[in-house]
């Protein structure tokens, strides 16, 4: 068999086209200022209703007698189980440690988050879907072209076909721009990954009512609006191969990877699944599973009706946060190059112990009872930041297929020049983070949201002002 010729790397070509798309704010399909009205129109055009129900009213779901785990009768979709975590700072468990138990979502199958790209008038556009998710506060947000678990696109729920899935399962390797496994929230999922994909086409794609083509510049503008671009779309877009317009960094790539490897090595996180009935510190009644002190999150059940979904009506469990979260990067320029302060964060549900997270990532309500010295580093600096120091701010909701009304205030805040990173924190450039998103399990989902917002807002084509 003849050996195929080696193909040149095409990231640079993609980066230039992506920069042009990011600099283009007039799309061929819809004006940016009309998108919100279009989303509202799609919300009105379909029947959407979400109602909290007792666990006993769940259809096809129930608590296992032996374990108390909340499972689907088919064995598909996901389960709510227990998790026991012991985390130590030393590589041999000889440092300070934390230990806790909690409910957790176990969903072993890998879902597809896929955005279809196509050039119109020489500019790359992305096909976004106005998708209903039961946990979204406003129900409908812009999602990837395809957003589906394996159970969804193999029709384990008995619903209709997932539109345009043929572009992603499997993709044409000649048309792939992004294809990488990325982790979901390590604090609420156990070892959960989704396949983040961007695939280009030259086909005439059918235009259903719930889809629209937008440039990256239009999407960037919409990321400044509250609860408009959903979490999965933000995650996928963060993986785009942008140009590095400000070369240079405090640490070389080798130094950054060495620091990160050291952080992974020094954390000893031992997480094991346990029966839900064995979880200590949590209580359950007919409608909710919650922490005894009212912190962290709750597990509850909902009944859903959505006329533009693959399945018209269903019931399912969801997780609900106890308050508005705060997710923030501290930002500063070092020798004229923008840097963000990342945190090497260890979560019990991560596949590989540590991922790079924003400077601050928490729900302040969970720490309100603690003295300032015991709250997350930089939390008060972010909460007290004057308006003049805030570079970016929007409220985004998390994945509405598993979480109910889980929202966070996302921020990029100018740092005080005297900030000295404590252990576990480092200054890196957005370009370095972007390079790491090309590989799975380096940059966590919250950091990917902020990265998508920063990159889309700053990208420009070569030669532009």
pLDDT tens for each residue of 378-428: 999 999 999 999 999 999 999 999 999 999 999 999 998 778 899 999 999
Least confident residue range of 106-110, 213-217, 257-261? 106-110
345 is in an annotated binding site: yes
308 is in an annotated binding site: no
| Structure confidence by residue, pLDDT tens digits, 145-188 | 999 887 666 655 555 688 999 999 999 999 999 999 999 999 99
| Structure confidence by residue, pLDDT tens digits, 285-329 | 999 999 999 999 999 999 998 776 566 789 999 999 999 999 999
61 is in an annotated binding site: yes
149 is in an annotated binding site: yes
CATH 3.40.50.300 fits 12-48+108-238, yes or no: no
For residue 161, what pLDDT is reported? 82
For residue 18, what pLDDT is reported? 94
313 is in an annotated binding site: no
For residue 6, what pLDDT is reported? 40
401 is in an annotated binding site: yes
Kindly tell me if the per-residue pLDDT of 230 is higher than 70: yes
21 is in an annotated binding site: no
**On the CB side of 64, how many CA atoms lie within 13 Å of its CA?**
18
17 is in an annotated binding site: no
> Beta partners for 428?
340
| Structure confidence by residue, pLDDT tens digits, 321-340 | 999 999 999 999 999 999 99
Mean pLDDT for the stretch of residues 25-33: 92
150 is in an annotated binding site: yes
Same fold, 12-48+108-238 and 253-271+323-459: yes
Q: How far apart are CA 17 and CA 252, in angstroms?
A: 27
CB proximity list for 346: less than 8 A, separation 6 or greater:
87, 267, 269, 353, 354
Mean pLDDT for the stretch of residues 42-47: 88
What CATH topology corresponds to 253-271+323-459? Nucleoside Triphosphate Pyrophosphohydrolase (3.90.79)
Q: How far apart are CA 344 and CA 57, in angstroms?
A: 41
175 is in an annotated binding site: no
153 is in an annotated binding site: yes
In this prediction, residue 8 has a pLDDT band, given cuts at 50, 70 and 90, of very low
273 is in an annotated binding site: no
Question: Can you give the residue ranges of every domain in the chain?
Answer: 12-48+108-238, 253-271+323-459
In this prediction, residue 12 has a pLDDT band, given cuts at 50, 70 and 90, of low
For residue 195, what pLDDT is reported? 97
> What value does the CA radius of gyration of the chain take, rounded to a whole number of Å?
22
242 is in an annotated binding site: no
Q: How far apart are CA 351 and CA 185, in angstroms?
A: 11
Q: How far apart are CA 330 and CA 324, in angstroms?
A: 19
Q: What's the chain look like in SS3?
A: CCCCCCCCCCHHHHHHHHHHHHHCCECCCCEHHHHHHHHHHHHHHCCEEEEEECHHHCCCEEECCCCCCEEECCCCCCEEEEEEEEEECCCCCCCCEEEEEEEEEECCCCEEEEEEEEEECCEEEEEEEEEECCCCCCCEEEECCEEECHHHHCCCCCCCCCCCHHHCCCCCHHHEEEEEEEECCCCCECCCEEEEEEEECCCCCCCCCCEEEEEHHHHHHHCCCCCCECHHHHHHHHCCCCCCCCCCCCCCHHHHHHHHHHHHHHCEEEEEEECHHHCCCEEECCCEEEECCCCCEEEEEEEEEECCCCCCEEEEEEEEECCCEEEEEEEEEECCEEEEEEEEEECCCCCCCEEEECCEEECHHHHCCCCHHHCCCCHHHHHCCCHHHEEEEEEEECCCCCEECCEEEEEEEECCCCCCCCCCEEEECHHHHHHHCCCCCCECHHHHHHHHHHHHHHCCCCCCC
What the block records as the tokens of 177 is 């721009």
In this prediction, residue 465 has a pLDDT band, given cuts at 50, 70 and 90, of very low
For residue 419, what pLDDT is reported? 83
For residue 4, what pLDDT is reported? 43
136 is in an annotated binding site: no
282 is in an annotated binding site: yes
The CA–CA distances, whole Å, from 291 to 8, 316, 317, 404 equal 54, 20, 17, 17
Kindly tell me if the per-residue pLDDT of 104 is higher than 90: yes
187 is in an annotated binding site: yes
Average pLDDT across the chain, whole number: 91
Higher-confidence residue: 128 or 455? 128
Higher-confidence residue: 6 or 191? 191
367 is in an annotated binding site: yes
For residue 309, what pLDDT is reported? 58
């Amino acid at each position: 068999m003849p050996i195929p010729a080696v193909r040149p790397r095409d990231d640079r070509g993609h980066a230039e086209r992506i920069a042009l798309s990011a600099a283009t704010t007039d799309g061929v399909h819809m004006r940016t200022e009309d998108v919100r009205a279009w989303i509202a129109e799609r919300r009105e055009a379909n029947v959407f209703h979400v109602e909290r129900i007792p666990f006993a009213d769940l259809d096809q779901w129930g608590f296992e007698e032996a374990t108390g785990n909340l499972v689907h009768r088919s064995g598909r979709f996901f389960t709510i189980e227990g998790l026991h975590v012991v985390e130590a700072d030393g590589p041999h468990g000889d440092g300070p440690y934390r230990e806790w138990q909690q409910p957790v979502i176990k969903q072993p199958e890998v879902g597809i988050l896929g955005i279809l790209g196509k050039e119109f008038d020489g500019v790359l556009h992305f096909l976004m879907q106005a998708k209903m998710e039961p946990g979204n506060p406003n129900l409908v947000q812009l999602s990837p072209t395809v957003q589906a678990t394996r159970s969804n696109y193999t029709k384990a729920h008995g619903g209709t076909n997932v539109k345009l899935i043929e572009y992603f399962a499997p993709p044409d390797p000649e048309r792939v721009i992004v294809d990488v496994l990325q982790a979901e929230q390590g604090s609420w999922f156990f070892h959960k990954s989704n396949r983040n994909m961007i695939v280009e086409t030259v086909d005439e794609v059918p235009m259903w009512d719930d889809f629209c083509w937008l440039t990256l510049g239009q999407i960037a503008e919409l990321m400044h609006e509250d609860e408009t671009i959903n979490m999965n779309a933000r995650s996928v877009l963060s993986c785009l191969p942008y140009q590095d317009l400000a070369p240079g960094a405090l640490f070389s790539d080798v130094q950054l990877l060495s620091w990160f490897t050291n952080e992974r090595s020094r954390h000893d996180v031992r997480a094991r699944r346990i029966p839900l009935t064995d979880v200590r510190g949590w209580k359950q009644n007919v409608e909710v599973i919650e922490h005894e002190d009212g912190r962290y999150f709750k597990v509850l059940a909902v009944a859903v009706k959505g006329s533009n979904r693959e399945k018209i009506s269903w019931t399912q469990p969801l997780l609900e946060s106890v308050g508005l979260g705060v997710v923030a990067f501290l930002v500063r320029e070092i020798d004229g190059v923008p840097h963000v302060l990342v945190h090497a964060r260890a979560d019990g549900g991560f596949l590989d112990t540590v991922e790079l997270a924003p400077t601050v990532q928490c729900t302040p309500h969970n720490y309100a009872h603690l003295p300032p010295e015991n709250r997350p580093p930089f939390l008060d600096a972010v909460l007290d930041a004057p308006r003049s120091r805030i570079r970016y701010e929007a409220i985004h909701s998390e994945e509405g297929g598993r979480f109910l009304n889980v929202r966070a205030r996302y921020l990029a805040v100018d740092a005080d020049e005297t900030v000295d990173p404590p252990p576990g924190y480092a200054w890196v450039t957005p370009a370095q983070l972007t390079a790491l998103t090309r590989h799975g399990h380096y940059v966590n989902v919250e950091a990917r949201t902020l990265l998508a917002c920063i990159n889309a807002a700053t990208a420009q084509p070569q030669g532009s002002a």
